[in-house]
Structure 1
């Protein structure tokens, strides 16, 4: 019976999450928010969930995910501006750019563990950051890449105009998020996902059982970077702009904070962490320039007193 109750609670929780996401453009305004904030939360939630696929479920910490987030964004922006003005084509180029880069870098880092893995991912991330910063003739350098805009999407039977309609853009982003979240959930429930969790819990025992550890970590790394590249594409489309700050190491730190804040070993934890982080940033930054100090203090308190994150606290309070 407790197992059945837990299963029911899980389905109710999932339904509540999707209900809140689907109705967000309507209730956000009534509580003082705005639709664009909701869109940013969904995009950053996808990025944090992508990182959590590697950190929370594989047990490997990356501080370089902003590189592939930025590659997705730059690939999208450069395609629309210089190659072909199509949103789907631009997103495809951005996703391929981020995923291929991750796939090539993966074999160089998968044998590293702990702080060594994290530091090398920062190093590779900074390489991409300085390329975007210095190659100003193509990327716009520190000024960023502007003078382009997201294009309406033609489905043949109709057109989705995401140029000017904030709600249309929100639901477009939410649809992409839903596809990615569903794919991540499917992978984590598959034998591959269970193997990743086994590696997280005890790598030595998993290796003893004959599991090819390095190959699984490489695949987890590439999958994680694929999803964060998708988030980067959506980030560029939201702003009609991309600059090197999207690739910088502190952006990767934000993803880690969101995942840990919400609960890094839970599926929806990064979504809650992203919502808290961005709402605090939006509210506190309107009152003081030192907003990061308040977010940092809140993060430290959560880590010290609620190591399983906000979602872990909610589950403990509800007795589940």
Structure 2
């Protein structure tokens, strides 16, 4: 992508952002599309990942790998605790609970000016050179190299998610999605599986958040807000939420349309909303569903 995206009016950072958002959307889809549980609070763990890497580099250790580990650990730990509190809820109650907890993290980041930078965000830090022990290599400052750095984590994460979904555990998640009551009668511990699905999903969305923070060399409260979670849901549904690759297509459409239209009007979300409504009304299986239908009439 870095070699041809400029030819069509794009830029390398746009391709990197597409991968980050696709990973976040696919992470949410692990819970929504394959377990059947809707979360509107995934932005909390996405933002915790971004703040985790930023605050580690700013206040603790000026190391990109350690910052990524801390960001992912913080987001996953928060998800494990919160998931245990809300795992018995279903439907709109689960979704509203995730929003509520997500907004708690948002207001902490928004109000804690001395540490998080408040509404101005956490700035003044950047991707650090990688210390190999015998040498220090400053390669991540290059946009093309950082794209492949993100691509590596994206590919690894998707491979792990695909492997999990093909395992007996993944098949159990599908059973819960299709008929939770029947799965419970079969003796499946529903709450345990939903909790694990939630934690795994948040692990990967936290990783996406750390990469997002490193991409921008910046973390701001908007990454924690509920409307960011809404964007992840839109990407998943737009592309096709019951498929592994659907959210990737949805993220590509969302990111490209947002970048193109937002440079021309502040009301870019209206166009995204109209496109989303049309897809939901006429193509409920998303864009990938349209492609598959054309390929297999």
Query: Shared topology, TM-score over 0.5?
Result: yes
Structure 1 spans left out of the alignment, 5+ residues? 1-23
The yes-or-no answer on 1:36 pairing with 2:52 is: no
Matched, 1:108 2:59: no
Q: Does 1:313 align with 2:290?
A: yes
Counterparts of residues 1-320 of structure 1 (less than 5 Å): 24-156=1-133, 160-319=137-296
Of stretches 125-134 and 149-158 in structure 1, the one that deviates more from structure 2 is: 149-158
* TM-score scaled by length of structure 1: 0.91
Please give the secondary structure, in 1, of the residue aligned with 2:122: coil
**Structure 1 stretches (4+) deviating beyond 4 angstroms?**
156-160
Residue 26 of structure 1 aligns to a residue whose secondary structure is coil
Mapped partners of 1:159, 1:252: distance in 2: 37
Take 2:49 and 2:82, find their aligned partners in 1: how far apart are those partners? 16
Task: State the distance in 2 between where 1:54 and 1:110 align.
Answer: 12
- Name the CA shift for 1:263/1:160 in 2 (closer, same or farther; >3 Å): farther
Judge conservation of contact 1:87–1:153 (CA < 8 Å) in 2: yes
Supply the distance in 1 between the matched residues of 2:28 and 2:4 (Cα, whole angstroms). Answer: 29
1:144–1:258 distance in 2 versus 1, CA, 3 Å: same
CA contact (8 A) 1:149 1:163 kept: no
Equivalent residues of 1:49, 1:259 under 8 A apart:
yes
Name the CA distance, whole Å, in 2 between partners of 1:306 and 1:277.
16
Q: What TM-score, normalized by structure 2, do the two folds share?
A: 0.98
Aligned length: 297
Q: Structure 1, residues 147-180: CA drift from partner, whole Å, max 9, x if none? A: 1111122345775534431100000000011111
Aligned counterparts of 1:40 and 1:159: Cα–Cα separation in 2: 26
